[in-house]
Structure 1
Amino acid sequence: MFWRGWSIARRLFIANLLFAVLIAAGMAGVMVSDAHNRIYEQTGLRMLSVATSLADAPSVIAGASTANPSAALQPYAEAVMGNAGVDFVTMMNIDGVRWTHPSPEEIGGHYTGSISQARAGQPYTETTLGTLGPSVRAIVPIKDSSGKVLGMVSAGVTVENVEVLIAARLPMALGLAAALMLAGSLTAWVLGRYLKRVTFGWGPAELGQLFAYYESVLHSVREGLVLVDQRGSMVLYNDHAALLLGMNPTPAQRGTPPSLASLKLPESLTELLRTGRTATDEVHLAGDRLLVVSQRPALVPGSTEPAGTATTFRDHTELTALAGSLSSTQTLVEALRSQTHEHANRLHAIISLIELGRHNEALAFANSEHSSNVALGGEFMNTLDEPFIEALLLGKRAQADERGVILELTASGSLPPDRLDLRELVTLMGNLVDNAIDAVAEDAAAPGADSAAGSGASPTVWVDLLVADGTLTLTVADNGPGLPTTDLDILGRIGTTDKTSVSPGGRGYGIALIRRATAALGGTITAENDGGAVMTAVVPLEPAAETQGKP
């Protein structure tokens, strides 16, 4: 069809214009019809008034009683026609024989209209064909003082003259119709311009097809997508976003954009969506999920004015879990490497002492090293009864020694078996200790560092494990420069770290791994500054639903 390629704006303009034309034509027709009826009605009432006045005139009553009424009444009727602006005044007897008429030759002839009503004493108005053509006329009885009908008076105006009055009303009706059509056309034009702007000149078929494509893409992608308007309402979100954010709207709520205040989102995500700031691959914790979030302004096409924000969510929980497992393995491997390196050095020292013939010193050196390891291992074995944690911390001590950092370990209580996922616990503990060692080692190495380590104190990391009241409390503290902020939401964003590696499994993901591991263990973690950084994780020791795996 010829209108298939028309835009919505053009279709609306044409449709509204045709509607305005039809309304204007209908209005003009109604006005003309109303004017026609009113003028005929008013003319009939005026003729009735003239005829009644004549019938009640004493001279007419007297003339109707004479032997020759025409001689008395014809001059009077002609005078009234000129003064009253009527086309004819006809007076007649009760049989309808004319006494007067505008054309004298018609006197004596019979009246051509209805006379039965007037003969019965009732006035009557009609539009009928007479000797002068179609006319609007009224006929009224002439009565004497006793009420006897002596004759009748008819006054009328030809239809031609009535139509002249109707024609005089046409310019007003047509002007009003034209004004209505102009106003409708202007309204349609303004509305069409607006629709053309908001629909970018697209037709309904193109918009419908585009909507179908967008809906298909929106609900098929494996990333969460959220659009938030300037008022803080989530005007659009796909199924994956609802899953990642824990939204479960009822069918009645799906058509209503939810406000951010009504959603139970993590505070960091609520702040990001509410402020609309630009973000690139920020890591946010939502329950036990780690979400990588990017946010950009949603611009109106062809304009730099933002209409809200577009936010994407990628679920990195599984990827981060794998990174955590890799981190745990790397931590243990690195710890074993450090221990191997340290033991090799000490073994070399013992061999050298033996070669020098200083057997007693070699034996004493070996016994002191063995006693130190047995004391440390026995302390943690008696407390935690977990060889993986013991191996991890012994290895971390060797790493700390390599970097010139003192690692002090304390533990108390007894860790029940099979209550925790040791993979997550190794990830949590290993990353906490790594971050602390890195902080004090780098601070000690920095020239002119103004910190506990840089002011003469030995760089030290303290690790304390406390099992009590059904919880495991893990505290890692250091005497380094402290944290730039204690807000873990800010610390956990990728890009806020000063370290060079921010790849999965690298140091840049340390806080993200720590928070995810803590959430996976069902615990909480807090950060503070007290002469350095202090990180405290509290993990409940609930009975496991099934035996937890080991690294």
Structure 2
Amino acid sequence: MSRWWPRSLAGQAIALQILVIAVIVLAGSVLALLDARQDGDMAARQQVIGIPTALAESPSTAQAIESGRATEILQPVTDAVRTDTDIAFITIMSPEGIRFTHTDPRQIGGHYLGTIEPALRGETFTEVYTGTLGPSVRTIVPVRNESGTIVGLVSAGITQQTLAERWRSQWPMIAAVSAGALAISLVGVWAIRRRLLRQTHGLRPDELRVMYEHHDAILHSVSEGLIVLDRTGVALVNDEARRLLGLPPGPVAMDDLPEFLRTYNPGARDEVHVTDERVLVVNRSRVDNRSQDTEVVTIRDRTELQGALGELSSLQVLTESLRAQAHEAANRLHTVVTMVEMGRPEEAVKFATDELALSQHLVDRLSADVGEPALVALLLGKTAQAAERGIELSVTEDTYLPSDTDHVPLSGQEMVTVLGNLIDNAMDACDRDNPWVEVTVTQQDHALLIRVADSGPGMDAATFEKAMQRGYSTKTDAEHRGLGLALVSQVVKRHNGTLTADVTYGSVVTVTVSDS
């Protein structure tokens, strides 16, 4: 069987369809023949009842029998009726069964072969009987005169051979219809086969099963989120994509996806997008030319990596701060040494102590007012970084953060993320003719307030909203701008805080987070 049975799924499906269609057509043809035979028999019975009944009820029939000229009058009538109706015989007889008419004139005067007793009782009786013309279906009806007396009998019949010939004559038509239906079905099956071959690439059922099992295993085990989009919407979403995007179980609609995935944008590489909970790296690629409207989206979780990068950035700031301070200290030391060599020791001592007092004052104040060491290090580093860039960065006297971190709604790392990104944005945006940045960090009434102002022009509400939500590509440094504010927004939303921007004495961005 394996030598002739098709191997591909399309071939096996078509072979089974052909078998089913052949069985259906054959069964339909048999049923059609049986129905034709049943209809023919029923029509014949109605015919052999109607014709003798009409003749028996005709007054001329009873008058011809009573006149004694029955054969002379009625034989031509029965011959004409029989010819018009294609019935086998019409026999008119006396109550004793003596024939007045017959298909074979030689049988006139003979005794009728059949049952006449029910007709003599006034009944219309139908039976199958073998007479002079062979087996036939016949009906016998009584003939009454005007007074109601039975004066004769009328019998009409059709041979079973004639019935068989009638329904057999329908065989060619039924066979033609069946052959046409089979031919049309085969054409449709051939078209289906071509379509199945294209869709299954001629693979066997076992190959498709293995492919599906591997496909399903990969989708559930792969560590990256995977989404397939086509012209109808979302075609596929794996478990990791549901987790990263917070998608509900069951079918996924386009409206369930984040805004950055609802547009057709194949070819995007390493796009970074910030959601309420995560930092995601998105790649989008189009499937080959057979389906240009289909694209595959892969999603990687960069949240933990972003946190690590934030800590690394803080260390880099401290490193740059130490480098800047070492460079500045070396310059001051050279200045002091030179002043001593010039014979001006008093001025050298005053210069050295003033600079040291100013720097130590800032360190002492931040260490006393800010209880989070990471935040102190960040502020000192950003101050040195700003000074190196020619920007005046000041920490207001209102800055105060208790050392009891249990009552601070943000962790040290989260505060470094928020304040560090806000200061970086402020230093990038401040007015180059009057560059200054002002920082305030304070805890009031169980609410943490972080405010960063700068001399820049600020942002309108629409631009600020876009900056909090948009993603970017990691290809160039210029494209990094905007991620910082989005990360700030992510931390704030996670703690149900508020992030606002306004332009008063400068461009002011304020973060408020409650510990409740």
Q: Aligned partners of 1:464 and 1:472: how far apart in 2?
A: 11
Give aligned-pair identity as a percent.
36
Q: TM-score, normalised by structure 2?
A: 0.82
Partner SS, residue 472 of structure 2:
coil
Q: 5 Å matches for 1:106-125?
A: 106-107=107-108, 109-125=110-126
* 2:474 is the counterpart of 1:488: no
1:322 to 302, 308, 324: 308
* 2:293 is the counterpart of 1:306: yes
Q: Which residue of the partner structure matches residue 335 of structure 1?
A: 321
* 2:414 is the counterpart of 1:424: yes
Contact persistence 2:438–2:454 (CA under 8 A): yes
2:331 to 323, 345, 365: 345
* 2:353 is the counterpart of 1:367: yes
530 and 196 in structure 1: CA distance in 2 versus 1, 3 angstrom threshold: farther
What does the per-residue CA deviation read over 1:50-73, in whole Å, with 9 as the maximum and x for residues that have no partner? Answer: 32344455665456558xx6xx44
* 2:26 is the counterpart of 1:6: no
Q: Aligned partners of 1:335 and 1:372: how far apart in 2?
A: 16
Deviation at 1:216, TM superposition (A): 0.7
Q: Aligned partners of 1:132 and 1:273: how far apart in 2?
A: 89
* 2:251 is the counterpart of 1:275: no
Q: Which stretch of structure 1 is more off in the superposition, 371-380 or 101-110? A: 101-110
Contact persistence 1:335–1:392 (CA under 8 A): no
Contact persistence 1:380–1:411 (CA under 8 A): no
What does the per-residue CA deviation read over 1:520-546, in whole Å, with 9 as the maximum and x for residues that have no partner? Answer: 7775555678999x5735152628xxx
Q: Which residue of the partner structure matches residue 239 of structure 2?
A: 239
Q: 5 Å matches for 1:131-150?
A: 131-150=132-151
Q: Aligned partners of 1:434 and 1:160: how far apart in 2?
A: 108
Contact persistence 2:370–2:401 (CA under 8 A): yes
Q: Aligned partners of 2:151 and 2:373: how far apart in 1?
A: 140
Q: Aligned partners of 2:190 and 2:504: how far apart in 1?
A: 70
RMSD between aligned alpha carbons? 3.7
* 2:277 is the counterpart of 1:288: yes
Deviation at 1:355, TM superposition (A): 3.4
Deviation at 1:462, TM superposition (A): 3.3
Q: 5 Å matches for 1:44-443?
A: 44-56=45-57, 60-61=61-62, 64=65, 72-84=69-81, 85=83, 86-107=87-108, 109-232=110-233, 234-249=234-249, 254=250, 257-261=251-255, 263=256, 270-278=258-266, 279-297=268-286, 299=287, 303-307=290-294, 309-417=295-403, 418=405, 419=408, 420-437=410-427
Q: Which residue of the partner structure matches residue 549 of structure 1?
A: none
Contact persistence 1:96–1:110 (CA under 8 A): yes
Q: Which residue of the partner structure matches residue 42 of structure 1?
A: 43
Deviation at 1:480, TM superposition (A): 6.3
Unaligned runs of 5+ in 1: 441-451, 544-551
Q: TM-score, normalised by structure 1?
A: 0.78
Q: Which amino acid aligns with 1:426?
A: V
428 and 355 in structure 1: CA distance in 2 versus 1, 3 angstrom threshold: farther
41 and 405 in structure 1: CA distance in 2 versus 1, 3 angstrom threshold: closer
391 and 356 in structure 1: CA distance in 2 versus 1, 3 angstrom threshold: farther
Q: Which residue of the partner structure matches residue 444 of structure 1?
A: none
Q: Which residue of the partner structure matches residue 446 of structure 1?
A: none
56 and 412 in structure 1: CA distance in 2 versus 1, 3 angstrom threshold: closer
Deviation at 1:275, TM superposition (A): 1.2
Q: Which residue of the partner structure matches residue 448 of structure 1?
A: none
Deviation at 1:131, TM superposition (A): 1.4
Q: Aligned partners of 1:382 and 1:180: how far apart in 2?
A: 96
Partner SS, residue 30 of structure 2:
helix
535 and 295 in structure 1: CA distance in 2 versus 1, 3 angstrom threshold: farther
Partner SS, residue 152 of structure 1:
strand
219 and 330 in structure 1: CA distance in 2 versus 1, 3 angstrom threshold: same
* 2:511 is the counterpart of 1:538: yes
Contact persistence 1:91–1:101 (CA under 8 A): yes
What does the per-residue CA deviation read over 1:129-180, in whole Å, with 9 as the maximum and x for residues that have no partner? Answer: 2111222322122334443434423222333334443344444434443443
Q: Aligned partners of 2:490 and 2:469: how far apart in 1?
A: 15
Q: Which amino acid aligns with 1:258?
A: V
Deviation at 1:223, TM superposition (A): 1.0
What does the per-residue CA deviation read over 1:447-506, in whole Å, with 9 as the maximum and x for residues that have no partner? Answer: xxxxx42xxx25433333344343333344444697895432566423385459x7xxxx
Q: Which amino acid aligns with 2:252?
A: P
Contact persistence 1:78–1:89 (CA under 8 A): no
Contact persistence 1:413–1:468 (CA under 8 A): no
144 and 211 in structure 1: CA distance in 2 versus 1, 3 angstrom threshold: same
243 and 439 in structure 1: CA distance in 2 versus 1, 3 angstrom threshold: same
Q: Which amino acid aligns with 1:242?
A: R
What does the per-residue CA deviation read over 1:315-362, in whole Å, with 9 as the maximum and x for residues that have no partner? Answer: 111222222222222222221222222123212322332333312101
Partner SS, residue 404 of structure 1:
coil
Q: Aligned partners of 1:59 and 1:405: how far apart in 2?
A: 134
